Amino acid sequence: MALDPLLLLELIGLGVMSGFLAGLLGIGGGMVMVPFLTIIMSTRGSPPDLAVKMAIATSMATIVFTSIASVRAHHRRGAVRWDIVRSLAPGIVLGSLISSLGLFVLLKGSYLAIFFGLFVGFSATQMFLDKKPKPSRQMPQAGGQWLAGGVIGLLSGLVGAGGGFISVPFMAWCNVAMHNAVATSAALGFPIALANATGYVFAGMSAQDLPAGSFGYIWLPALAVIAGCSVFVAPVGARIAHRLPVKQLKRIFASVLYLLASYMLWKGVSSL
């Protein structure tokens, strides 16, 4: 699978778009990368099942780099709740490894695509409805945060996203201010991405029909181009995020997720 000029342009565009959304919405860019990488790999000859799995794994690997650029921009504005990051991270790492080393290998790519679409659609609905949490609700105690982190890491590993589609609504539900939730989600993207990407490498070592330039399930040419572009654009999205009203930010988040959930549902069902 040669890196022809058209492919290079497609990956550059995807890197710019995903980096901007990573900074703007704290979603790590995975919600955008997975559907588009699935299209790119499918049109270049990868079997449908493998295309979905490699898109998920490559997307997650790029988030390792994107999250660093995004969180630096949010941290400079004092928006990251590092106390929440420290509390959720242990569970996130454990859940991520269970997902990437176990469930990801066992499930067919079509089922992963359907799960992606359903879960992201649910998350979008919760965000779009802008349900108000009870004023007294707070983040759970240490055990509850470990459990929440485990769920975030597990589900993120199945869909190749930085966890923002779960962690942002969860923190908002616990009365964490929306801008803080987006910024903290960007910080959580790093342990999620690093743990899952490591698992995808080991899980894909024995996979068949991998394209040239693969490292386990991660496609290195796409990783290099997308990460190289997104790290420069993510801080721009982060700056804009701090200028938008909370309700508008939630609606943008939900609209993006609806579009991508629809495509992945179609992809999963059509390849059964």
- Reported in sequence order, the residue ranges of 156-272 that DSSP labels E, i.e. its strands, are 214-215, 218-219
In a domain, 49, yes or no: yes
Q: What is the pTM of this model?
A: 0.78
| pLDDT tens track for 139-164 | 778 788 889 889 888 888 887 776 66
Q: Write the DSSP string, 57-126.
A: HHHHHHHHHHHHHHHHHHHHTT---HHHHHHHHHHHHHHHHHIIIIIHHHS-HHHHHHHHHHHHHHHHHH
Residue 32 included in any domain: yes
- pLDDT tens track for 196-252: 899 999 988 888 888 888 999 999 999 999 888 887 887 787 777 777 776 677 677
Residue 237 lies in a domain: yes
Residue 118 in any domain: the answer is yes
CB within 8 Å of 190: residues ≥ 6 apart? 63, 64, 67, 68, 71
Average pLDDT over residues 114-138: 70
Q: Of all residues in the chain, what percent carry a pLDDT higher than 70? A: 89
Instruction: Indicate the number of domains in the chain.
Output: 1
Residues of the domain holding 228: 5-267
- Look at residue 148 and tell me if it is in a domain: yes
Classify residue 175: in a domain, yes or no.
Answer: yes
Task: Say if 272 falls within a structural domain.
Answer: no
Share of the chain above pLDDT 90, in %: 8
- Within a domain: 82: yes
